[in-house]
Amino acid sequence: MNQQITSAEVLLIDEQGERRGIVPRQRALEMARLAQLDLVEVSPHENPPVCKILDYGKLRYDAQKKKAELRRKQKISEVKEVQMRPGIEEHDYQVKLRHAQRFLTDGDRVKLTLQFRGRELTRREMGLKVIERMEADLAPLGKIESPAKLEGKRMMMVFAPNK
């Protein structure tokens, strides 16, 4: 920017965006000073470097606003958890299923946790049935991000929403 430009000649673009050709650095700085703007190196790796006459403060302000706008529009995906037991009754299952469906349609990931207690751990096939049923019911709304795995007394599976 301005005095930090070291090249003897630059390819100049004026404040209207018109190409002025290759000019000496001092002449480009003079033109920027007359326009009460800054001379900014747009493409320093070209030969000669490309410089543009513009308001550097406004350029930085616009870039900052654009970055804040992108951050505001960004959807942060959360992981919502649905907990069940292997011997879950039909109505309770339907309630948990509706919660999981709502989470997936809202764009959140769903972690399905099946908790085994006591002797239920010896009947893992009951838990697998519940997991497979949930997997089939949620298939239209989401895909499996991590398959069912048993960790201690819990069986877990993660669903991600379809795009």
Around 131, how many Cα atoms within 13 Å sit in the side-chain half-sphere? 23
The pLDDT score that the predictor gives to residue 8 is 85
Average pLDDT over every residue of 60-87:
88
pLDDT tens digit sequence for 126-159: 989 999 999 999 999 999 999 999 899 999 999 9
Domain of 122, CATH number, reads 3.30.110.10
Sheet holding 9-13, edge to edge: 19-24, 9-13, 50-54, 38-43
Residue 163 predicted with pLDDT over 80? no
Q: Which of 34-48, 73-87, 90-104 has the highest mean pLDDT?
A: 90-104
Number of domains observed in the structure of the chain: 2
Same domain, 33 and 101: no
The angle formed by the CA atoms of residues 107, 100 and 118, to the nearest 5 degrees, is 140
Per-residue confidence (pLDDT) for residue 134, from 0 to 100 = 93
Domain-embedded: residue 48: yes
* Residue 91 predicted with pLDDT over 90: yes
Q: What pLDDT score was predicted for residue 71? A: 85
pLDDT (average), residues 108-117: 94
Question: Residue 25 sits in which domain range?
Answer: 2-56
Q: 87 and 131, same structural domain?
A: yes
Question: Taking the model in full, what pTM does it have?
Answer: 0.56
On whether residue 130 sits in a domain, the answer given is yes
Q: Is the peptide bond before 49 cis (omega within 30 degrees of 0)?
A: no
Q: Is residue 154 part of a domain?
A: yes
Q: How far apart are the first and last CA of the chain?
A: 43
Residues 6+ apart with CB under 8 A from 152: none
pLDDT of residue 76: 75
Pair 105, 147 in one domain:
yes
The answer to whether residue 93 scores a pLDDT higher than 80 is: yes
